[in-house]
Amino acid sequence: MTTTRASLRTAGAASLLALLSLAACADEEPVAEPPATSSPTEEPSASEEPSADDTEQTTSADEATQTEEAATTSAPEEPKELELAASDDAFTVTLPGTWEDATATAQDQTDAAVLAGRDGERVDDFYTNVVITQEEYVGNLTSAVEQAAEELAGEDGEYELLDPAEVDGNQAPGYTLVRDVQDVTVHQTQRWVSHEGTLYVVTFSAVDSQAEDAAPVLDDLLASWTWTD
């Protein structure tokens, strides 16, 4: 496969990812919570006086309730990291514990996807997400990355080439770009990782308002990348 065809295929996968994320949130509807209900309680008559035993039992119950409330309101535990394995068993990565596995959803859209995840909370009608696709090997990786950046940005988009990042012993060149998808400004970062004759393309997408805060997620993912094949 030539560099041109490989880069075009990658650009198409990235475009599909952005559309996938936007469509997913549009299909979801908020779940209505059932109305709160109350039941009448009987009040003791004015003539009834609590006994000493009743008072002692009430005090003990109050103390137990306070103890339970204190345990409940203590600082919550940090969510554990989400570890995901590629569907081709070539590598594993970790994502924040607040994220969820979206591999099956991505594979419904493209057979090239081997791993995907997204934030559990959407912002500005968009889920920050990452999709990793398996592509055909290209000989000149740097040239292919530059060409893909130009093709994906198009005439109206902006892109910036990045210094290579280390991914478990491999150097991964990449770029960032900003473009509008369905009237939403999306920041995307791609990293291309070549390993034993196979090319993996990591596409990380976030809306404009979340781009800066979400960037460390991709850095941590690349740092956690471990080859298992």
Q: What is the pLDDT of residues 121-156, one digit of tens each?
A: 988 888 999 999 998 888 888 888 998 888 888 777
Q: What percent of the chain has pLDDT over 90?
A: 43
So where are the chain's domains?
A: 82-227
Mean pLDDT, the chain, whole residue set: 78
Identify the CATH number of the domain defined by range 82-227. 3.40.1000.10
Query: Residue 155 and residue 149: Cα distance in Å, rounded?
Result: 11
What sections of 41-192 are H helices per DSSP?
A: 52-72, 103-109, 141-153
| Helix, strand, coil distribution of the chain in percent, nearest 5 | 35, 30, 30
Query: Residue 135 and residue 117: Cα distance in Å, rounded?
Result: 19
Cβ 207 vs Cβ 137: under 8 Å = no
Query: Residue 5 and residue 1: Cα distance in Å, rounded?
Result: 7
pTM for the whole structure: 0.73
Q: What is the pLDDT of residues 206-222, one digit of tens each?
A: 999 999 999 999 999 99
Q: What is the pLDDT of residues 162-204, one digit of tens each?
A: 999 999 999 999 999 988 877 888 899 999 999 999 999 999 9
